[in-house]
Amino acid sequence: MSERTVVDDPAAGRFEIRVDGAVAGYTEYRAEGSALAITHTVVESAYEGQGIGSALAKGALDALRERGTQVLPYCPFIRGWIAKHPDYLDLVPEGERARFDLPG
């Protein structure tokens, strides 16, 4: 099994998922007030269909939870992942959930 690692690259404004050291995908972010706006997620074509996107979403959101950072999921992939994993809903500020079609 390949080793998967999710790392934050603040200089690039993204979380990366690396498989055996190679960047397999990333999710871009920017600060928006006291929250982090997640804007775009990419999985490299060679890694599609291997659960890389889900592993990236979980790793990035776990890291943000650990920091106490709230999330604004502009990226449709991340928004959909949160909708399927309601235990991550608390990362989205309650007053912002309707804007992202997430349960309040």
In this prediction, residue 104 carries a pLDDT of 79
What is the residue-level pLDDT of the chain in tens, covering all 104 positions?
Answer: 689 999 999 999 999 999 999 999 999 999 999 999 999 999 999 999 999 999 999 999 999 999 999 999 999 999 999 999 999 999 999 999 999 999 97
Domains, the chain, ranges and CATH? 4-100 (3.40.630.30)
Q: Count CB atoms within 10 A of the CB of residue 90.
A: 12
In this prediction, residue 48 carries a pLDDT of 95
pTM over 0.85: yes
Cα dist. 55→16, 44, 48, 50 in Å? 10, 14, 12, 9
Closest of 15, 90, 104 to residue 55, by C-alpha: 15
Work out whether strand 70-73 and strand 35-43 pair parallel, antiparallel, or are unpaired: parallel
Residues 20 and 2: their CA atoms lie apart, in Å, by 6
SS3 call for 104? coil
Q: Which two tokens stand for residue 74?
A: 């502009």
Residues 59 and 16: their CA atoms lie apart, in Å, by 9
Exposure of 68 in the CB half-sphere (CA atoms within 13 A) = 0
Residue with tokens 């106490």: 68
